[in-house]
Amino acid sequence: MKLEITINLKETDGVPVTEATTIEVEVPDFEAFTGPARFGEVFDAYEREVIKARNEAVAVATEKYLSEMAKKKQSQREISEKEK
Amino acid sequence: MIDAELGRLEVDQFEIREGSEKVFTTRREVFPETGPREAFKSPCLRELFLLFSIDESFRKGTGKLNRVLLRKERDAIQFRTVANTVEREGELIEAQRSKEAEEILESYSFDAEGKRIPSNKGYTSGNEDTSLTEESPSEIREDLGLGKEPQSAEEKRIPSNEGQGSRRESSCITEELINKAIEEINVGKEKELQIDLSELQETFEDPLSVKANISLDDVLSKKQKEGNRKKNAPSKEKKAFVKNTVAHLENGENAFYLLNAHCVEKILILVLAFLLYNGLLNRQGQLIFFIDGAADLRLAIQSLFLDLLPFKIILDWFHLEKKCKERLSLAMKGKQIRNKVLDHVTPLLWHGKIDAAISYLEGLNKDNIKNQEEIRLLIGYFERNRSYMPCYALRQKLGLRVSSNRGEKANDLVVSSRQKHNGMSWSTSGSTSLATVTTLHLNNEQSDWLLNRKLSFQFRKSEEKAAA
């Protein structure tokens, strides 16, 4: 089974700021949960993958966010220099 | 409810009923059953509980954990939850370790107290050539200080590892090497401190082929009071302590394993099971215990291992020197006289000259002594521990251990650094459980334990520790 995390960064009006970030990971199938005795082990496999994916997705999205912010700052400076 | 590193998860529960009877419920048949109002804690979260508890107080650790997981208010983890979880994990680990030890002992024909059950199968099966019987009973007696038959130079040699259990062809400590080391030590030394091989009663183990070096030490932490102090009770009650015993086992390849228990007898059972499980009792070489001179440790070792295999007990040099300092401080008139006596006695002991040290103490000027009883006690200590006091100078020159410092450090890591702080006091089970959890972490067994409830019971390489 796959778990997909998608992060969209949008302006307040809903316009996308960056392209979407998508991370996909394999997680245990429902069949892997064979009973209470193995629940902890299977859930651990799920949780570790999901935490890894979550961190990766947020890191990539944050990189895009900061890059976009830097671009905006550059264009703002160009505008203000022209005005001078 | 599931409490996980991901967050606190509310999960719907489903059940199937036939009339009034429940025939299926996810509460028991899908998810592990928990107590009322108790959340199932995921292995990831439990691992964090353990990691954040072994170095600092439950309160501080939980505070940091809540910050890392950004848990606040209703979702915040309570320090009592962490403490209870850690204590319960510790108890489970202890129970599992005892169970595994008992099974190992049983499979090698030992009872739960570590006594051999007469049987055809045992730890010598399939490896008779390298069995312990190769080392003569006289050598056992000598190691225990029960007999002191003079040895020829040939007998002093380390038994070579030509048996099935080892691929090494000969010991790395030869007679020649010992003689060379003695010559080097004796250069420029006054006659009194010169080592004479014929006087030495000890054997020198090949450091690469020892069965195991085992450092044992007790550590005490303050015990919690049973209840509130009673009215009109004496202001200072007698201090009570919780005892933990820690064993640091090391093989010839610098790999180690730590064990802990609430008493000496229990830890020796675990040590025996560990040695059996790892095939160390059949291996050629010596079993060496490093202790601080505590009588209970020495007696417990002798009681369990005396009829089992040859072993050697070595009194830790640091503790021997400390004992001399303490007793002489009480015995001599003033620091300067004490230091003068100490400067004479310690080199003698370092060079294995116990008789000379005793003679020197007996011949001390009475005018310099304020308490003759302390001198008598110190001499008694030397006499009692004579068999466990080797020629430290020669052992050090040959690259052999003279100290139980690894055991002391293990004690520090397992108990002292966490449990001995101002204002801390412990219940017996709380202290032992926390020590057990710390031991699990230092042995790098936490992942396997949290997922599979298994303990490796095997040496761990030092590099693995560094990498971890």
Q: pLDDT at position B170, please?
A: 44
Q: pLDDT at position B382, please?
A: 94
CA-nearest residue to A42 within chain B is B451
- Average pLDDT, integer, range B358-377: 93
Token pair recorded at residue B17: 């009923």
Token pair recorded at residue A18: 């960056």
Distance from CA of B278 to the nearest CA of A (A): 28
Lowest mean pLDDT among A13-22, B237-246, B255-264, B385-394: B237-246
CA-nearest residue to B448 within chain A is A41
**DSSP conformation class of B133:** G
Q: Determine contact, residues A49/A3, Cβ cutoff 8 Å.
A: yes
Residue written as tokens 């000598």? B142
B81 or B254, greater pLDDT: B81
Residue B360 has pLDDT above 80, yes or no: yes
3-state SS class at B292: coil
pLDDT tens digits for A15-43?
999 999 999 999 999 999 998 988 999 99
Q: Determine contact, residues B399/B388, Cβ cutoff 8 Å.
A: no
Q: pLDDT at position B60, please?
A: 94
B128 or B80, greater pLDDT: B80
pLDDT band at B232 (very low <50, low <70, confident <90, very high): low
User: Are A44 and B6 in contact (CB < 8 Å)?
Assistant: no
A6 or B139, greater pLDDT: A6
Spell out where B153-299 has E strands: 212-222, 241-250, 256-261, 287-291
Q: Determine contact, residues B242/B431, Cβ cutoff 8 Å.
A: yes
What ipTM was estimated for this complex?
0.87
Q: pLDDT at position B460, please?
A: 86
Distances (CA, A) of B455 to B25, B94, B106: 32, 10, 18
- Average pLDDT, integer, range B100-111: 92
| Cβ atoms < 10 Å from Cβ of B95 | 10
CA-nearest residue to B28 within chain A is A36
Lowest mean pLDDT among B280-284, B328-332, B366-370: B280-284
User: Are B43 and A40 in contact (CB < 8 Å)?
Assistant: yes
CA-angle at B273, arms to B267 and B279, nearest 5°: 135
- Average pLDDT, integer, range B372-400: 92
Lowest mean pLDDT among B9-23, B152-166, B386-400, B450-464: B152-166
**DSSP conformation class of B163:** S
Q: pLDDT at position B233, please?
A: 62
pLDDT band at B154 (very low <50, low <70, confident <90, very high): very low
Q: pLDDT at position B171, please?
A: 55
pTM of the model: 0.80
- Average pLDDT, integer, range B217-231: 79
Going by C-alpha positions, the residue among B121, B116, B95 that lies closest to residue B105 is B116
pLDDT band at A79 (very low <50, low <70, confident <90, very high): confident
Interface of B with A (CB under 8 A): 2, 4-6, 28-33, 40, 42-44, 450-452
Token pair recorded at residue B12: 């719907």
Domain boundaries, chain A: 2-83
Candidates B6, B45, B452, B454: best to mutate against A (most CBs of A within 10 A) is: B6
The whole-angstrom separation of Cα A18 and Cα A68 is 7
Going by C-alpha positions, the residue among A60, A25, A59 that lies closest to residue A45 is A25
Spell out where B276-360 has E strands: 287-291, 311-315
Distance from CA of A68 to the nearest CA of B (A): 27
Spell out where B134-293 has E strands: 212-222, 241-250, 256-261, 287-291
Candidates A5, A47, A48: best to mutate against B (most CBs of B within 10 A) is: A47
Lowest mean pLDDT among B69-73, B91-95, B108-112, B184-188: B184-188
Residue A63 has pLDDT above 90, yes or no: yes
Q: pLDDT at position B123, please?
A: 56
Task: Measure CA of the first residue to CA of the last residue in chain B; give whole Å.
Answer: 32
The whole-angstrom separation of Cα B107 and Cα B85 is 33
Residue B128 has pLDDT above 50, yes or no: no
B187 or A57, greater pLDDT: A57
Taking CB atoms and an 8 Å cutoff, what residues of chain A touch B5? 47, 51
User: Are A43 and B42 in contact (CB < 8 Å)?
Assistant: yes
Q: Determine contact, residues B254/B462, Cβ cutoff 8 Å.
A: yes
Residue B459 has pLDDT above 60, yes or no: yes
User: Are A44 and B450 in contact (CB < 8 Å)?
Assistant: yes
B36 or A44, greater pLDDT: A44
The whole-angstrom separation of Cα B225 and Cα B227 is 5
- Average pLDDT, integer, range B216-220: 91
In chain B, what percentage of residues exceed pLDDT 90?
Answer: 51
Q: pLDDT at position B131, please?
A: 33
Q: pLDDT at position B417, please?
A: 92
Q: pLDDT at position B236, please?
A: 60
pLDDT band at A2 (very low <50, low <70, confident <90, very high): very high
The phi, psi pair for B392, rounded to 5°, reads: -60, -40
DSSP B18-45: ETTEEEEEHHHHTSPP--TT-PEEPHHH
- Average pLDDT, integer, range B351-377: 92
Going by C-alpha positions, the residue among B388, B391, B401 that lies closest to residue B185 is B391
The whole-angstrom separation of Cα B433 and Cα B419 is 12
Q: pLDDT at position B463, please?
A: 59
**DSSP conformation class of A54:** H
Q: What is the mean pLDDT of chain B?
A: 83
A56 or B460, greater pLDDT: A56
Residue B122 has pLDDT above 90, yes or no: no
Q: Determine contact, residues B261/B468, Cβ cutoff 8 Å.
A: no
